[in-house]
Structure 1
């Protein structure tokens, strides 16, 4: 059977890769922003926490016991939709500070896989931080549970499945592509909209998502918001096959962009 949608683990990995920032919540404290949230090979998450904040102080005070924390990531649609949140990911576990002797090696590992300017602000100290920059400490969140919620409901996933999954190959470019599709190629959206159920064709149709398995459209009408997935005939892995798959969904007879031959 052909897969027509990402697995839960793939959706979470893609959401993690797209999320520019996340929030760390600990009971009794104000949530703290963390610009770095990186899944490590041992199944834990490396996260940054404000070095001078109460959250870091609580983790230091807890020592080897750590503190119970929740990492929340919000996957926003790249277009200004009526309801912009596509999904929420909650990762619950126990958080510990990374020992000083291990920080440099872990930063190098994270930077190799996912360069992030905020890594340069780790362990800089308040006096060394550039004006306007927040100095961060590096912590590790040992995962106890992972849950993702979207318009279809909520679902949990195991750490093993999360480690085996990979982000969608197009997730880094998806936002730019969808914005371009909306602003410069409305005819493509309109052609795709002909694949929607008849009852939804009267609403405002917007591109919502794009991955190797298909295209998602959001229909906004008086009755609410409706998300519809249009699956490709088979998963795609590169830009050429993606372009061809979209042409098939549009009903275009010239799959390679060839012009009709003149008679």
Structure 2
């Protein structure tokens, strides 16, 4: 694989989007779409999802067993900056919702918490709500039929086995802070990265769009529209030290990446 083609796989992009999405929207025919704060990929390829406790959807899921309720889970990956077009990608997971028996809920919550300690897990089956702003949830499971991601490059579907084999980007939890810091405090870095772009893409405003183990993404906003460009690292990196070195090499700073000039 050459440096020019190094980029996350479709499965990696989806796993990263799932990990970054604070809330997902769950759509079921005949019911208003609802936000689900928990959407966790289980080891069998299904998703654990939270829905309002005692609501219409929760009741429909119980009544529909064993067939389940057709549903679509939508996750939106937003850019860390207020861009003209803030959505970086959309993920749609289509399948059927199934009830999780009460005897299995505690074990499933423990499993999810061990991999993703989401505070919203504390609101699952924890008693009645104490006010309009105090939501309680019940746990359901989405058996997956299809997974599709769409971004500026187009749309693509993958199988559940590919999703299970992939992992989220190791920097996804820190990416937003880094991109915001790059924009606010290191415009010189952004300008140097922009100098790597083809001349046709240097017209307009260049903004940092994303950062992952494979490289840096820039968004060019001009009168002709928005253009996303990836500047790949020489090889994927797995830790902060490697990321810092890769960025400096990308900037063309050989002596800032750990190399030292020879003394006379």
- Report what 2:16 is aligned to: 14
Cα shift at 1:56: 1.2
- Report what 1:191 is aligned to: 192
| Alignment pair present for 1:239 and 2:219 | no
Matched-pair contact (CA < 8 Å) for 2:24–2:75: yes
Post-superposition CA distance 1:132-182 (Å, at most 9, x none): 221100000000000000011000010000000000010110000000000
Cα shift at 1:235: 0.5
Matched-pair contact (CA < 8 Å) for 2:52–2:135: yes
SS in 2 for 1:254: helix
| Alignment pair present for 1:112 and 2:124 | no
Kindly report the root-mean-square deviation, in angstroms, between the aligned alpha carbons of the 2 structures: 1.7
Distance 1:114 1:194 in 2: 39
Shift >3 Å, 4+ stretches:
257-263
- Report what 2:182 is aligned to: 181
| Alignment pair present for 1:224 and 2:194 | no
Q: 2:103 aligns with which of 101, 104, 123?
A: 101
The 5 Å alignment of 1:22-61 reads 22-61=24-63
Cα shift at 1:225: 0.2
Q: Identify the range of structure 1 (56-65 vs 6-15) with the bigger mean alpha-carbon deviation.
A: 56-65
Matched-pair contact (CA < 8 Å) for 1:178–1:207: yes
Q: 1:86 aligns with which of 82, 88, 91?
A: 88
Distance 1:173 1:130 in 2: 34
Matched-pair contact (CA < 8 Å) for 1:214–1:230: yes
SS in 1 for 2:255: coil
- Report what 2:157 is aligned to: 156
Distance 2:131 2:210 in 1: 37
Distance 2:84 2:127 in 1: 41
Count of aligned positions: 262
Cα shift at 1:52: 2.7
Residue ranges of structure 2 left out of the alignment (5+ in a row): none
Distance 2:134 2:119 in 1: 11
- Report what 2:73 is aligned to: 71
Post-superposition CA distance 1:57-106 (Å, at most 9, x none): 21122122210000000000000000000000000001012100000000
* TM-score normalised by length of structure 1: 0.95
Matched-pair contact (CA < 8 Å) for 2:249–2:257: no
Matched-pair contact (CA < 8 Å) for 1:97–1:137: no
Cα shift at 1:256: 2.5
Cα shift at 1:254: 1.5
Distance 1:45 1:208 in 2: 28
Distance 1:63 1:125 in 2: 24
Post-superposition CA distance 1:185-242 (Å, at most 9, x none): 0100000000111011121000001000000000000000000000001111111111
